[in-house]
Amino acid sequence: MHKPADMTLWQGRLDSEEGALARRWHERLQALHEGAPAGVALLGFASDAGVQRNHGRPGAKEGPVAIRRALANLAWHHDGHVYDAGDVHCVDDQLEAAQAELGRQVAHLLAEGHFPLVLGGGHEVAYGSFLGLARFAELQGQRPPRIGIINLDAHFDLRAGERGSSGTPFRQIAEACAKNQTSFNYLVFGISEPANTAALFHRARELGVQWHGDEACGSENLESLLDALAFFVDEVDWLYLTVCLDVLPAAVAPGVSAPAAYGVALPVVEALIDAAKASGKLMLADIAELNPSFDRDGITAKVAARLAWRLAR
């Protein structure tokens, strides 16, 4: 179920004595309307049904509101338009319906010329996001663009199972690609070996997944990580970037279902995001797994807002 933007969330400090250059997000962001000039469209996915199915800690359905509130007071350094496109809500356990609706909303935003920035929500958001991009790709003619997925995550999220969850989205995407006879192009940065079973590594190899473990994602290896990202980008036409906040160390992102004991440092995560943006191929991004119930002093919400701020520039 999609609900329009709640603009009462966008409140913050006013520095009117500093003039127009002192504007903040809550003063500049607008509710999305039909015919709006192309811009960044924030779309919430209020769901933790997938997290619960994956036996995780619920609370991520409150993530979109928490990210908006943290974004509202950030300084405005943007040239283009940024809109609030409302939220897709998962009602009860109707995850598949919510993912389908998210796909419809993402495809519509893309068709209108916007850059969808989806705010989760559990990482089940990824399957819905991809459905929207794939739907839009089908409209591009006889040769649909090759889609590449870059995931910043401690987990592969390739689990088996009859029902989708926050642990299955990329296995579901791989199956959808096989059904549609399109390539499955998937690159992950930040994989935690202790947090992924041997079965998941085996499945990743079978599916041709490329990955870099968390221990290999230190700042001393940043150049080689950026080279790997650039090589991956060269092989695809469009990029979908998904950021699971549990890729970050628990001290930086405590408010997630599964905090990382090791994690990837925020400067490395931001450098990878910047490189994906700079490629000119980024069509869609989402930020997943913020769980305000387990956050401390809004730390994780602030980090998520900072990443959204960066993606929207």
Q: CA 137, CA 110: separation in Å to the nearest integer?
A: 10
- Return the half-sphere exposure (C-beta side, CA atoms, 13 A cut-off) of residue 259: 16
Determine how many CB atoms are found less than 10 A away from the CB of residue 310.
13
β-pairing, 30-31 with 39-46?
Answer: unpaired
Burial of 131 (0-12, 13-18, 19+ CB in 10 A): buried
Return the ∠ at Cα 33 (arms to 32 and 39), rounded to 5°.
Answer: 50
Strand partners, 89: 46
Instruction: Check the annotation: does 155 bind a ligand.
Output: yes
Contacts of 291 (CB under 8 A, 6+ apart): 48, 51, 57, 58, 59, 60, 62, 63, 255, 256, 257, 300
Spatial separation of the C-alpha atoms in residues 297 and 301, rounded to whole Å: 9
Q: Does 157 show up as a binding residue in the annotation?
A: yes
Nearest one of 207, 206, 144 to 180, comparing CA atoms:
144
- Retrieve residue 203's tokens: 């499945």
212 is annotated as contributing to ligand binding: no
Residues of each annotated binding site = 123, 153, 155, 157, 244, 246
Residues of each annotated binding site for Mn(2+) = 123, 153, 155, 157, 244, 246
